Amino acid sequence: MLFKTWTRRGLMAAAASTALVVGAVTSPAIAQTPPNVLIVGQIAEPKSLDPAAVTAVNDFRILVNVYEGLTRYKSGTLEVEPALATGWDISEDGTEYTFTLRDGVTFHDGTPFNAEAVKFNFDRMLDENHPYHDTGPFPLSFFFGAVESTEVVDDMTVKFTLNAPYAPFLSNLAYPTGLIVSPAAVEANGKEFGRNPVGTGPFKFGEWRSNEAVVVERNDGYWGEPAGTEAVVFRPITDANTRVAEMLAGGIDLMVEVPPTSLGQFEGDAFSVAEQAGPHVWFLILNAKEGPFADKRVRQAANYAINKEAIVNDVLEGTATVAAGPTPPAFAWAYNEELDPYAYDPEKAKALIAEAGADGAELTFYVTEGGSGMLDPVPMGTAIQADLEAVGFDVNIETYEWNTFLGEVNPGLEGKADMAEMAWMTNDPDTLPYLALRSEAWPDKGGFNSGYYANEKVDELLEAARTATDQDERARLYREMQAIVQDDAPWVFVANWKQNAVTNDRVENFGLEPSFLLHLQGVVKN
């Protein structure tokens, strides 16, 4: 197609033009992207385009334009509304969910969307004996661990039976892990499905040029309102300063995750900056299994040692707030407002370190160059290193590209590192602690508790909260959990971020969502 030809030439031209403005970032845009093709500057190369196989918001931002789930988040909220399902019934005991599916929907490969397709998707993730379970791994199948069975009632009706009431179920179906893929495409491509994605969304897959671009085209057979652009080109531009230069040069139309220090460069009529608060937390995973941080006193010392106010105000330019505990305040109904952030108190940190006999301890610190919700990770890591060294630690930073970083951190820090940067953006107050703080979520058990934290009371509270049908009771349980975790300090709780993006003046109808997903169906490009 014509736009594909342009994007190959145009990406080269835009990159060349960027070099002209790196030293003069106030220059006017001098490259022209084509009308009706939206060029998006992403923070990294996607790992896969199989929604069941990935964990990063960077990947999800592409996927939600190609696929859809049974439910979705209502625009501007984290409330659930129908999508590929038009409605649902829940049994009195909260263990059976029966969905009525949308008629007339087809996958991009022309095969029908129906109850059999839904069953295939969840069985592929959850049933180890499914013939296509080996197309995983499926790292967030935890989201649907309560599903006991998925049953085809009739062609357009599907029933999920849960092993217990599970309050986040509808919300998890709206999360990208619940996006529905084409069974026929999985059968045809097997383990390569992630490079050959097929969904039902407003855009269909065009091509993936490694380390250059993922191109999606308007789906003219879409069941809903057609997409406002002919195509979207997602370009991986890992270095934030390079993304800024590309944006100023006119090589991209939309940039996500603008560095706080660069926001001022986008003032004026040529650009629009969008901001949106959401459920985000930036933290340091501490290795509680071995080394200095196996001692709670040393973990608390790290929390006291780091000047989080300085990070938020000086490094992040006031685009975040200091975090208290593991739950973002965006979950207002479940957030424990009685918790105060750890104060910046180097003397208290030194006293705790001395009490624990950890003076002069050597720490290996994993830092990423960039990544989903990671804000400004290298300057943040450098500031953290300085603060920890000021109280007597000897800190060695190891820096990795995002996907390489995840490959080091997600399998666990044992034998490798004492601490690692991390950020999560979640859809429910259950998600992050359940996947990253339970003892049953250690990496060798399939979870993301890379620091090996374990507390039986926290486990009990999290299990009780996810099965409670009364929201007030869930809130009470989550607040109690937050207080225990804050005291145990398995992480250094650093920041809660307000996401941002910038568009040029040719882009209309763009807005950010509290889910941190990037819905581009309604965007128009002049």
| Per-residue model confidence (pLDDT) at position 199 | 98
pLDDT value at residue 31: 62
Pairing of strands 254-256, 37-42: parallel
Question: Model confidence over 312-336: pLDDT tens digits?
Answer: 999 999 999 999 999 999 888 899 9
- 386's tokens: 């300085």
Retrieve residue 32's tokens. Answer: 């022209």
Q: For residue 55, give the nearest of 422, 312, 325, 400 by alpha carbon.
A: 422
State the Cα–Cα distance between residues 164 and 221, nearest whole angstrom.
Answer: 39
The residue ranges of the chain whose pLDDT is under 50 are 1-29
Q: Do residues 94 and 166 touch, judged by C-beta distance below 8 A?
A: yes
Tokens of 261: 């220090």
Helix (H, G, I), strand (E, B) or coil at 309: helix
Phi (first) and psi of residue 260, to 5 degrees: -55, -35
Residue 339: HSE in the Cβ half-sphere, 13 Å Cα cutoff: 25
* Three-class SS of 249-295: HCCCCEEECCCHHHHHHHCCCCEEEEEEECCEEEEEEECCCCCHHHC
CA distance 391 to 402: 29
Q: For residue 259, what are its two tokens? A: 């560095």
Q: Which pair of structure tokens corresponds to residue 316? A: 């992040």
As to burial, measured by CB atoms within 10 angstroms (0-12 exposed, 13-18 middle, 19+ buried), residue 427 is buried
Picking from 507, 517, 520, the residue whose alpha carbon sits closest to that of residue 253 is: 507
Order of strands across the sheet that contains 96-101: 85-90, 96-101, 157-162, 147-154
Distance CA 326, CA 309 (A): 17
**CA gap 506, 264 in Å, rounded:** 20
Locate 1 and state its tokens.
Answer: 């197609």
Burial class (CB in 10 A: 0-12, 13-18, 19+), 313: middle
Answer whether 521's CB lies under 8 Å from 304's CB: no
Question: Which amino acid, 69?
Answer: G
Report helix, strand or coil for 392: coil
Alpha carbon 3 to its chain centroid, in Å, reads 29
Decide the pairing of beta strands 362-368 and 419-425.
parallel
Distance (Å, whole) CA 446 – CA 265: 43
CA 361 to chain centre: 33
Tokens representing 339? Answer: 């918790």
Residue 207, strand partner residues: 215
Q: Residue 23: what pLDDT?
A: 37
123-169 per-position pLDDT tens digit: 999 999 999 999 999 988 988 999 999 999 999 999 999 999 998 99
Burial class of residue 458, CB neighbours in 10 A (0-12, 13-18, 19+)? buried
Which tokens is 495 given? 């920041």
Tokens of 428: 């429910």
Beta bridge partners of 235: 41
Strand pairing class (271-277; 254-256): unpaired
| C-alpha–C-alpha distance, residues 491 and 341, integer Å | 12
Distance, in Å, from the CA atom of 488 to the CA atom of 484, rounded to the nearest integer, reads 6
| Cβ density class 164-180: b for 16+ within 10 Å, e for less | ebbbbbbbbbbbbbbbb
User: Assign residue 239 a region: left if phi > 0, alpha if psi is -120 to 50, beta otherwise?
Assistant: beta
| 481 contacts 461 by C-beta, under 8 angstroms | yes
| CA nearest neighbour of 113 among 223, 253, 244 | 223
Helix (H) or strand (E) holding 491: strand 491-504
- What is the C-alpha separation between 179 and 216, in angstroms, rounded? 17
CA-to-CA distance for 248 and 156, rounded, in angstroms? 49
β-strands 147-154, 157-162 pairing: antiparallel
Structure-token pair, residue 109 = 């490969």
Instruction: Give Dmax over CA atoms of the chain in angstroms.
Output: 68
pLDDT at position 470: 86
| pLDDT tens-digit readout, 333-379 | 899 999 999 999 999 999 999 999 999 999 999 999 988 789 899 99
Whether 246 contacts 78, CB under 8 Å: no
Q: What's the full length of the chain, in residues?
A: 526
CA angle 245, 247, 249 (to 5 degrees): 65
